[in-house]
Structure 1
């Protein structure tokens, strides 16, 4: 007797299971991370709103200063001084945006695998109708999309604030914090530390040690980038008269890599050069032009003697290139971390939880 088996119901159950698995992962991701995601949205909203308000305030100062730099001795310039509330607030917001990727790595990245190990729920999660690989990439995709969206919004507002600040004060967008908080870097760095957090959480399998590892890695890489980024491309050189009309090389958000300082009264090099190209010592410079205690005579003496500074600098036109180089490095780190996560998940022994 021939038996006819209808495979359609089984196929329908498989299709339903596939859809149910995706919906289940979406619900599980929200269930496990909801408070972190909500807190991230609130913090991002506060940051974006605060920076938008300050951008409007700085734009108003720019108009008051006739759409140019605000002189330091003007009321507007004094508001941008180092100890004024506006300046302190801007500095605090810069730091918050800088450390946003670290918070992403700690509170969104690390718990993805570390919490599953600590609660011993991997066996339960992966014994259902979803494979470990699908479980991994679906959750990483959902959380990564959330991180990219939120940090992109904050990054756009931060970019506008930094550019507005550069309009009214002696700030260059090539300085480390403005450079780090503009362009594509907030998104690229946040995705990198999200992936690194997941990888370290999976490798260490404990939340607290993984948190300390992420913090150590973030601090170390941050200082490495700060040290190396000014010379990612060969700097340009320029001669700049001291005490006379300044050249335009330092305008347009340029970054001084070396030079630009004049030292008085020391036996070593002063940083000041004669017209023939000989560098004066600090003692020779003091003997040539006596300090004037702020009367302006010293600068006039520099101009009369045609003294110059030799500078190595990066022009502001290179900022997009530098952004691309640094972002590519962080995205490369993201790819390596995701590859490590995939390898870690494939080697997890479910019998050990």
Structure 2
């Protein structure tokens, strides 16, 4: 039957060089299609990112190491829709963001769920390899593969993000850019690999575990995205309404809040303050500067009354700290997943009697 050929029931290949070689062969035998597919997709992704980096750098040099003028041929090449270089870079950025999900689904989940489904786990542990060695060797081999592949992808992604920031209008303190730079692609991929293994061990069915990984990934992603601007307390400063903020937001700074809220004369806070720090309500602001059809005239009225905004921002120097905070959170989730796997394996061992 296919169960016998698809999942060998012994930890050692008959002619393999002992338990270690048998586990290496077994890991390859059971996961070869997922590993090869991951390697091929990662190679294509790295090649795509390398191409985009080279093209953007070439256009940067054509524009004399400055941002290309609006309407120039280089600018049109960069911003063309739907397949301009910037648009392609955003597609790649999103692929890097979802790469850990694919790793958790197709590499992590089957490690234990398939063994439970095919009822080969206890028989494999009855051989000359202990459950603990079987588990940690499998996780170590697959984990090293995930780290190696995602490290190359992370390096190419980080380089592309820096090139895109230099050439284009985006900055590095965006949620998507932060997740695609530094070592975060590696850390998040390892996290969802271990979560996939844990769900496969607990649920013991591949398809439900896959849906569990998808739900968990989306939930954590939305939580991190929601909390992202305030992972550290933002800095604050008062600025005149008509004062430029380019000096404040240079060097990849992230603006957290500071917009003007124009509503229909109610009690909602407007986001504008007087010199004493009193924040106007929408009703007070409407009485001070009656609504006009021309937004520029309304803004001139605010400036004439010497109103100011309170801007909250994260300076670009905090990007490494944000990397550490997010990475630590994902590593904590990975540690909890590993503990879950270990406890599940211990219970399975005892149930074998």
Work out whether 1:283 is the aligned partner of 2:281.
no
Q: Once the 2 structures are TM-superposed, how far is the Cα of residue 257 of structure 1 from its aligned partner?
A: 1.6
Cα-Cα RMSD: 2.7
The more displaced of 50-59 and 302-311 is 302-311
Q: How does 1:141-290 map to 2 (within 5 A)?
A: 141-259=140-258, 261-264=259-262, 266-267=264-265, 268-275=268-275, 277-280=277-280, 281=282, 283=286, 287=290
Aligned to 1:6: none
Q: Once the 2 structures are TM-superposed, how far is the Cα of residue 237 of structure 1 from its aligned partner?
A: 0.5
Q: Deviations over 1:49-73 (max 9, x none)?
A: 1011111222233334443444555
The more displaced of 55-64 and 331-340 is 55-64
Structure-2 separation of matches of 1:300 and 1:72: 28
Equivalent pair of 2:291/2:298 in contact (CA under 8 Å): no
Q: Once the 2 structures are TM-superposed, how far is the Cα of residue 135 of structure 1 from its aligned partner?
A: 0.6
Distance change (3 Å), C-alpha of 1:232 and 1:82: farther
Structure-2 separation of matches of 1:300 and 1:351: 76
SS of residue in 1 equivalent to 2:87: helix
The more displaced of 123-132 and 40-49 is 123-132
Q: Deviations over 1:278-311 (max 9, x none)?
A: 545363586377526xxx7776666565543211
Pick the aligned partner of 1:31 from 11, 29, 32.
29
The more displaced of 297-306 and 44-53 is 297-306
Structure-1 separation of matches of 2:334 and 2:99: 16
SS of residue in 2 equivalent to 1:240: strand
Q: How does 1:91-106 map to 2 (within 5 A)?
A: 91-106=90-105
| TM-score (normalizing by structure 1) | 0.85
Task: Report the number of matched residues.
Answer: 333
Aligned to 2:7: none
Structure-2 separation of matches of 1:222 and 1:39: 25
Structure-2 separation of matches of 1:342 and 1:46: 35
Equivalent pair of 1:240/1:247 in contact (CA under 8 Å): no
Gapped regions of structure 2 (runs ≥ 5) = 1-14
Distance change (3 Å), C-alpha of 1:208 and 1:162: same
Work out whether 1:344 is the aligned partner of 2:341.
no
The more displaced of 99-108 and 244-253 is 244-253
Structure-1 separation of matches of 2:47 and 2:130: 41
Q: Once the 2 structures are TM-superposed, how far is the Cα of residue 350 of structure 1 from its aligned partner?
A: 7.7
Aligned to 2:324: 324
The more displaced of 90-99 and 22-31 is 90-99
